[in-house]
Amino acid sequence: MPNLHIPRGQTATLDRVEGELRVGNHATIQAINGKTVVVTQDAVFEGSAEVNGDFECDSLECHSGRLEVNGNLTVHKRLDVGHSIEATGTIKAQDIDVGGKIFAGAVNCIRIRVGGQAEIENTFEASSVDVGGKVSALGSVKLGDLQVGGEAEVGGGSILGSIRVGGKFSSKSRLEFGELLVYGRGFLPADCKGHRVSTYGKLEVDGKITCDFIEVGGVIEIHGDCYAQRVEVGGKFEVTGSLFSNRVEGYGAIEIGNFEGTTLRISGKLVANKIVVTEEADISGKIETKQGLKAKQLTVRSGSRYEGVLIGERVEVGKSSDLSYGGWGTNWATKWVTAGGMARVDDIYAKDVVIGPMCRVGRIFAETVKIEQGSAAEQVTYTSELKTDFGVAIGETPKKVDTLPKPPF
Amino acid sequence: MRDRETKRSKTDLYAQVLEVLIRYPEGGRITRISYGVGVPVDRLRNILEALSSYGLARKLAADEQTLYFATPRGLEFLDTYWKMKGFFEIFGDKQR
């Protein structure tokens, strides 16, 4: 038996209820002189109800209808609402479970589960957020995990666990995140920082982003610089600024401004302004650079077309394909590449150059040069040794010099 | 998930019901699921029956109440559904 029962449709003015409170459908609770209504045990609402003032209880259950709180709501344990709840102030609880919709000024809880929709105007703090439909939290958020079936829109802040959003995800201002998985469409503002980003759909970043691991299944467009430990591309990756990454690999289409990194292993299409790789670059497909590509060890696989200057300690052109990475499918380009078709490159500046069979090269400036059968070069300038196989064509007579011209960078 | 300007397709509804169901690993009651999905109980009952017949959801009658669960196949459907929606985003397809 409840200690106090407010009958259906009645209005009660309350201050403190010792024990349990039961509220009938369409009842109204008024707080005395703007004080907080305190219920020392559970509050049970049988249906829709209105609370004018702050309300505090041990646990709260609302079976159906809409519970409206014009003030703050503090629940020490569990807040369980069948249909929907609206609070103009802050909802503070340990566990929040709402079947339909929750609207609040602010929310502070450990765990929140909403079947339908959550709309929070100001701050939103929770360790775990699980929403079937839509989350809109346009103030600052401080969350652990965020799992949303449909759409999630946050004002910015931090979500340090994992974010899984089925439909759309957007953050209005700077967000620090753990793992972000967007199946549909995502928008991030400038200066976001995170551990991992994966997308099957499209993610747009409106400025600089720093992330340990970027996995592109669909499309990622970054309108600024990108700092990442590792980038794996299976779809399309665009960076209008510079990309700084230890390791970039994949088989999609990449368009970047400048790239600075340790290793680059790409098959597919790559368009860049300038690429500087401190260790190994292994490329195949169609690659275009305005200023050139520089790497310690540089391999252009057979069947590739490279436009721009190649600079390296050792440059190999026309080597057969490495199938250890990339999505070598069954298209004609793949068959051509794996069969060891011709590679075409522009000028090469290196210490050692090896040109495989049936390749076309621009000018070569190197200490030692080896050109295998059937290949052609416009010009060869070397300081130490030139070896050519049967059927090699060189446009001008090879020049042995004491000093090689300096590479462009 | 719900765009008020466009009518949800049957597939969207199935996905939305499953999204609500996976939030109730202890089993969801039909009234609560209906609040989450935003469809009346009678219509939802048909949807749940259809999902159960496809093996995407499971119905369990216990203690005078019926509870609904998402099945592993339902989870597989959801994953595929969202991935396909991701592809539609890439293609610029307006299909929802």
Q: Which two tokens stand for residue B65?
A: 């109440």
For residues A351 and A366, is the Cβ–Cβ distance under 8 A?
Answer: yes
Of B16, B35, B87, the CB nearest to A83: B35
- Residue A162 near residue A169, CB atoms below 8 Å: no
Q: What is the CA A293 to chain-centroid distance, rounded?
A: 27
Rg of chain A over all Cα atoms, to the nearest angstrom: 32
Per DSSP, A114 falls in state E
Which residue type does B49 have?
E
A289-338 residue pLDDT tens: 999 999 999 999 988 999 999 999 999 998 776 555 444 444 544 444 44
Query: What DSSP letter does each residue of A197-251 carry, written as one string?
Result: EEESSEEEEES-EEEEEEEESSEEEESS-EEEEEEEESSEEEESS-EEEEEEEES
A379-405 confidence digits (pLDDT tens): 999 999 999 998 999 999 999 999 999
Pick from A101, A113, A149: CB nearest B1: A149
B23-35: pLDDT as tens digits: 999 999 999 999 9
For residues A173 and A190, the answer to whether their CB atoms sit within 8 Å is no
Task: Tell me if A405 sits within 8 A of A388, measured CB to CB.
Answer: no
Residues of chain A found within 8 Å of residue B28, distances taken between Cβ atoms:
115
Radius of gyration over alpha carbons of chain B, in Å?
A: 14
Place of tokens 């099957």: A200
Structure tokens belonging to residue A77: 């344990």
The CATH number of domain B10-86 is 3.30.300.130: no
Q: Which of residues 43-82 of B touch A (CB under 8 A)?
A: 78, 81-82
Q: Taking the domains of chain B in order of start, what are their residue ranges? A: 10-86
* pLDDT for A330: 45
**Residue B62 confidence (pLDDT):** 80
pLDDT value at position B93? 59
Encoded tokens for A268: 């597919």
What does the pLDDT read at residue A324? 52
CA-CA distance, A244 to A205, in Å (whole number)? Answer: 16
Q: What's this model's pTM, rounded to 2 decimal places? A: 0.88
Compute how many other C-beta atoms are within 10 angstroms of the C-beta atom of residue A329: 9
Run of H or E including A202: strand A202-206
Average pLDDT per 10 consecutive residues for chain B, totaling 96 residues: 68 95 93 94 96 96 90 96 89 62
What per-residue confidence (pLDDT) applies to B4? 54
- A170-180 in b/e form (b: 16+ CB < 10 A) is bbbebbbbbbb
Q: B79 vs chain A: nearest CA distance in angstroms? A: 9
Contacts with A215 from chain B: Cβ below 8 Å: none
Q: What is the pLDDT of residues A324-375, one digit of tens each?
A: 544 444 454 444 444 455 899 999 999 999 999 999 999 999 999 999 999 9
Q: How far apart are CA A353 and CA A60, in angstroms?
A: 76
Interface confidence (ipTM) of the complex: 0.87
- Candidates B82, B87, B94, partner chain A, best to mutate (most A CBs within 10 A): B82
Chain B contact set for A200 (CB, 8 A)? 82-83, 86-87
pLDDT tens for chain A, 409 residues long, are 688 999 999 999 999 999 999 999 999 999 988 789 999 999 999 999 999 999 999 999 999 999 999 999 999 999 999 999 999 999 999 999 999 999 999 999 999 999 999 999 999 999 999 999 999 999 999 999 999 999 999 999 999 999 999 999 999 999 999 999 989 999 999 999 999 999 889 999 999 999 999 999 889 999 999 999 999 998 999 999 999 999 999 888 999 999 999 999 998 899 999 999 999 999 999 999 999 999 999 999 988 999 999 999 999 998 776 555 444 444 544 444 444 558 999 999 999 999 999 999 999 999 999 999 999 999 999 999 999 998 999 999 999 999 999 999 9
Contacts of B20 in chain A (CB under 8 A): 115-116, 132-133, 149
Contact present, A119 and A133 (Cβ < 8 Å)? no
